[in-house]
């Protein structure tokens, strides 16, 4: 009896040793680096996906916040990590402006990271505290013209598409506003709700819970049409600023050289995790985000276009990192 049990145990161990991928998957920890602080939309997307990823990848999934320098600090950690499928980057739209924003970036966004998936996006929106004297964006413009640099707005950081969009709108309106960058959307929202800044710009996904809860009032949205849950809020085009659409986006990258099978495995796991009814409902209905769930190649093409489009605006405005 003991001999049979011992042989069975040795056989099972041999099977595990013959399948190192299985053994590694069951004992490893997968790290998802979010290059912004807790409380923002990027952090929320990562944590929403992590439970589903853990179930599908058979590993402990840890979300690690490493903020600073428009997301380049966290991204650099991933770029320099071993390409073994254990470290991934889930980042935000400012990732595309790093080459233009930093004088000497510590890594190359196009060559030192491999694309995995464009998760999706959410239009930018502007919101203020309900007791502020702004009922719409025209009121903001009037106040900024009357008090140049006297109207402040927060954003999730220098070089984000939200920051760039406010620069474009301010210039088009002939008004000067003071920009206050934050290391995360959570910090920006906290100060907007507290009234430390006159208003803030952030993704609709970030702002909607606070708008729904009554702690913020929407003033403007940058989507091509009004979101269902912002049906009474003008788009930029309706407010007199055509061709100024801006959508925040989230994407996943891997260290350069990560094996294709690992990239494809993560892509498939993300697709399944974010397609679950609860996750999809949170993304598309609660946060009014647009799910894309792209292939790695599709993200690669999209990202190159973003680097070209927004990098030029960063240079033209001479924007510096936080």
Nearest to 160 by CA among 12, 279, 35, 301: 35
Tell me: the pLDDT tens digits for 270-310? 999 999 999 999 999 988 999 999 999 999 999 999 999 99
Q: CA-to-CA distance for 113 and 99, rounded, in angstroms?
A: 13
Question: What are the structural domains of the chain?
Answer: 2-122+249-317 (3.40.190.150), 123-230 (3.40.190.10)
What pLDDT shows up at residue 247? 95
Q: Specify whether the CB–CB gap between 294 and 118 falls below 8 A.
A: yes
What pLDDT shows up at residue 3? 42
Tell me: the pLDDT tens digits for 145-198? 999 999 999 999 888 899 999 999 999 999 999 999 998 899 999 999 999 999
Mind listing the pLDDT tens digit of every residue in the chain (322 residues)? 444 344 444 444 444 343 344 334 444 899 999 999 998 999 999 999 999 999 999 999 999 999 988 899 999 999 999 999 999 999 999 999 999 999 899 999 999 999 999 999 999 999 999 999 999 999 999 999 999 999 999 999 888 899 999 999 999 999 999 999 998 899 999 999 999 999 999 999 999 999 999 999 999 999 999 999 999 999 999 999 999 999 999 999 999 999 999 999 999 999 999 999 999 999 999 889 999 999 999 999 999 999 999 998 999 888 887 7
Q: CA-to-CA distance for 300 and 49, rounded, in angstroms?
A: 21
Question: Which residues, in sequence order, are bridge partners of residue 30?
Answer: 61
What pLDDT shows up at residue 221? 98
What pLDDT shows up at residue 179? 97
Which one-letter DSSP state was computed for residue 35? Answer: S
Q: CA-to-CA distance for 111 and 127, rounded, in angstroms?
A: 37
What pLDDT shows up at residue 68? 87
What pLDDT shows up at residue 33? 98
Q: Residue 29, Cβ neighbours under 10 Å: how many?
A: 10
Q: CA-to-CA distance for 105 and 230, rounded, in angstroms?
A: 38
What pLDDT shows up at residue 19? 39
The sign of the torsion formed by the CA atoms of 228, 229, 231, 237 equals: negative
> Which positions ≥6 away from 252 have C-beta within 8 Å?
88, 89, 90, 91, 116, 117, 119, 266, 270, 299
Which one-letter DSSP state was computed for residue 235? Answer: B
Cα–Cα distances (Å) from 243 to 142, 169, 236, in that order, read: 21, 10, 8
pTM here?
0.86
């Amino acid at each position: 009896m003991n001999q049979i049990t011992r042989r069975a145990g040795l056989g099972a161990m041999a099977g595990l040793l013959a399948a190192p991928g299985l053994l590694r998957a069951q004992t490893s920890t997968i790290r998802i680096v979010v290059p912004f602080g807790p409380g923002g939309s990027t952090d929320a997307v990562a944590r929403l996906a992590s439970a589903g990823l853990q179930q599908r990848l058979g590993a402990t999934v840890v979300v690690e916040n490493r903020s600073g320098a428009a997301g380049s600090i966290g991204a650099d950690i991933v770029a320099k990590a071993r390409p073994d499928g254990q470290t991934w980057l889930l980042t935000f739209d400012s990732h595309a402006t790093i080459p233009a924003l930093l004088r000497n970036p510590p890594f190359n966004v196009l060559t030192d990271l491999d694309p995995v998936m464009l998760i999706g996006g959410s239009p930018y929106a502007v919101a203020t505290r309900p007791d502020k004297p702004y009922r719409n964006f025209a009121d903001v413009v009037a106040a900024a013209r009357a008090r140049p640099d006297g109207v402040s707005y927060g954003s999730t950081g220098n070089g984000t598409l939200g920051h760039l969009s406010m620069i474009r709108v301010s210039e088009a309106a002939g008004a000067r506003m003071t920009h206050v960058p934050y290391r995360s959307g959570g910090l920006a929202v906290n100060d907007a709700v507290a009234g430390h800044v006159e208003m803030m710009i952030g993704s609709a996904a970030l702002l909607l819970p606070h708008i729904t809860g009554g702690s913020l009032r929407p003033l403007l949205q940058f989507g091509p049409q009004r979101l269902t849950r912002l049906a009474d809020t003008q788009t930029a085009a309706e407010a007199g600023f055509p061709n100024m659409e801006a959508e925040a986006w989230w994407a996943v990258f891997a260290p350069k050289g990560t094996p294709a099978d690992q990239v494809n495995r993560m892509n498939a796991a993300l697709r399944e995790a974010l397609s679950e009814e609860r996750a999809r409902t949170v993304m598309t209905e609660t946060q009014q985000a647009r799910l894309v769930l792209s292939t790695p190649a599709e993200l690669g093409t999209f990202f190159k276009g973003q680097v070209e489009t927004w990098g030029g605006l960063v240079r033209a405005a001479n924007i510096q990192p936080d």
